Amino acid sequence: MLGPSRRSLLALGAGAAAAHLGLQRTARAQPGAGAWPSRPITMLVGFPAGGANDVAARTFLPFVEHNLPGASFVVLNRPGGGGAVAAAELARAQADGYTLGFIGMPTLVSRLHDGRASYTLDGFTFIASLVADPVAFVVAAASPIRRLSDLIERARRDPRALAGGTLGVGGAQHLAILQLERATGIQLSHVPFTGSAPVRAAVQGGHTAFAALSLSDAGRLIQEGKLRGLAVAAEQRLPALPDLPTCREQGLDLLAASTRGVAAPRGLLPAIRARLETALKRAVEDPDYRAQSDAQFVTVSFQDSGRYEAFIRAEHARLGRLWAEAPWLQR
């Protein structure tokens, strides 16, 4: 490992060591930018293998390898806490360019508000956002609820009688339900599950009246007629699902999506960050990758490092206001 040894660091005066602790950590951790990458890069994914986030990462990484000479990636699944376990591990890792995280919004920041995170936003170098996976409200194909307005009217007549399934508390899908409640004044019941498969099974089997699911989890079933899509919380209809209307088309200014991107521990060399950002941008521009994204019902939504960090901090502030008005976790 390049950089000062522990013995040389200890030789510094106590005052200087305290003043330069962050710089010393970076120096210990980082190789020269020209030598990177010289070994496999670990990509932490905070969800189980086979889920939407894992599939998205494994789909994307070969395109990054193609655009980053010498790079090879190893996916390491660290499920738990809606991505909080992996995010905490990423924040603790060395900032040497060999540990990255495939992070998801809004759970990265929702965990900061509800007290389930052991990291802060200052613990990361945000490199780029890649895709947005819009949230859709769906019901069983045989459900009498045929439009979003039907669901809203039923909920008005019988508050909390309609139960909706999601992937968990504080995720994009749960927050979409909270936004729907606030926008319409209705009251719904939330049923969190541990993964998308049980959410789909519950709504298909009529055990929940509806579900809020990312389109990567629900799109194929909507196409096949096994689920009925009521609305998608996106700015416009998706080409793959032209008959699925947006919430805005139905009078509700509601946008919700799981945004996926890449981050590193704080202190990553700017030169390495820049090389990663360039490789990520070229990867998302690849026509083959875009075709695969369309097939997974996700929208390419690239943001460079500066815009990505600004987006995350703005979402942190927005969810702070939502938490103050409608806490999504009862302690």
- pLDDT of 22-54, one tens digit each? 444 444 444 556 789 999 999 999 988 888 889
The pLDDT assigned to 32 comes to: 59
**Would you say 188 and 155 are in contact if contact means Cβ atoms under 8 Å apart?**
yes
Q: In whole angstroms, what is the distance from residue 101 CA to residue 301 CA?
A: 18
CA separation (Å) from 8 to 1, 11, 21, 28, 269? 14, 5, 13, 11, 22
**Would you say 21 and 52 are in contact if contact means Cβ atoms under 8 Å apart?**
no
Across the chain, which has 331 residues, the per-10-residue mean pLDDT values are 36 36 43 81 92 89 96 94 92 97 94 89 97 96 96 96 92 93 95 88 96 94 97 94 96 94 97 97 96 90 96 94 80 42
Sketch the domain layout of the chain as residue ranges.
6-132+258-325, 134-250
Q: In whole angstroms, what is the distance from residue 63 CA to residue 18 CA?
A: 42
Please report, to the nearest 10 degrees, the dihedral formed by the alpha carbons of residues 255, 251, 163, 222 taken in order. -70
Q: What b-and-e string marks burial along 208-227, b requiring 16 or more CB atoms within 10 Å of the CB?
A: bbbbbbbbbbbbebbeeeeb
Domain formed by 6-132+258-325, architecture: 3-Layer(aba) Sandwich (3.40)
The pLDDT assigned to 124 comes to: 98
Q: Is 6-132+258-325's fold the same as 134-250's?
A: yes
Fold of 134-250: D-Maltodextrin-Binding Protein; domain 2 (3.40.190)
